[in-house]
Amino acid sequence: MKKALTIAGSDSGGGAGIQADIKSMSANGVFAMSVITAVTAQNTLGVQGYVDIPIEYIEMQIDSIFADLLPDAVKTGMLSNPETVALVAYKLAQYHVDNLVVDPVMIAKGGSPLLRQEAVENMKSLLFPQALILTPNIPEAEFITGKKIVSGADMKEVCLEIADMGVRNVLLKGGHMGSEEASDLLYAGEEFHTFTTPRINTKNTHGTGCTMASAIAAGLAKGLSVYDAVKSAKCYIQKAIEHADELNVGSGHGPVDHFWMMK
């Protein structure tokens, strides 16, 4: 069985972070493993606080995985401080990880910051050049580039700017654009591809970014191309959002249904 590793923060509410990653990877047919970088106290109403895991224990977790359970793909999520970013980047380079999905987690669904300002430059210089694919949403891409995104042309321009940072493929998720359709833009080498689905009227979208990035990692672990992994993940997350209201979990932004296909 193919294996995928997530390096991210724990979400005590189970809707995002490590918990969402493991659910998504499992639902997409790979064996999921985890390295926890931070522990958050959160629920569907927001993040009440978090604490970083000491970097020596993050390193120990990574070494344990690669010593015995060599991943076929790796996905990174919440790397909240510059030391954690630097360590993770160093270890991924040490182990020559090629199928690397970087989800630049910066802000939680409720608006709480999950990445310290001083960590951003480390992420750009140390982690982005190792990424096979980067999966920012609109606010994250604006934060990374300092440019406002209000149109499809802006999305293309920002993808190109992020690619210039050394990223081989960029998936800019357009869910925050507010249009009637949710269009994600993939810049793969010299080509753009658009993946468009109908927008679903629901407040239960907690963990969509983590879930989609993990589904992409699962596809890459199974040998799919970047394009096919993104296409498969887009279909999966669309169904997960469509079924989200059936879960009825929490009173805020509830999670998507990771196991919709089992119903």
Active site residue 205: yes
Active site residue 209: yes
Active site residue 194: no
Give the active site residue among 13, 174, 175, 209: 209
Active site residue 173: yes
Contacts of 248 (CB under 8 A, 6+ apart): 254
User: Distance between CA atoms of 226 and 27, rounded to whole angstroms?
Assistant: 19
User: Distance between CA atoms of 172 and 175, rounded to whole angstroms?
Assistant: 9
Q: Is the dihedral of CA 232, 233, 238, 244 positive or negative?
A: positive
Give the active site residue among 9, 14, 17, 207: 207
Give the active site residue among 44, 205, 222, 254: 205
User: Distance between CA atoms of 142 and 147, rounded to whole angstroms?
Assistant: 5
Give the active site residue among 3, 91, 173, 234: 173
Q: Is the dihedral of CA 89, 91, 96, 99 positive or negative?
A: negative
User: Distance between CA atoms of 109 and 33, rounded to whole angstroms?
Assistant: 24
Give the active site residue among 210, 222, 234, 254: 210
The residues annotated as belonging to the active site are: 173, 205, 207-210
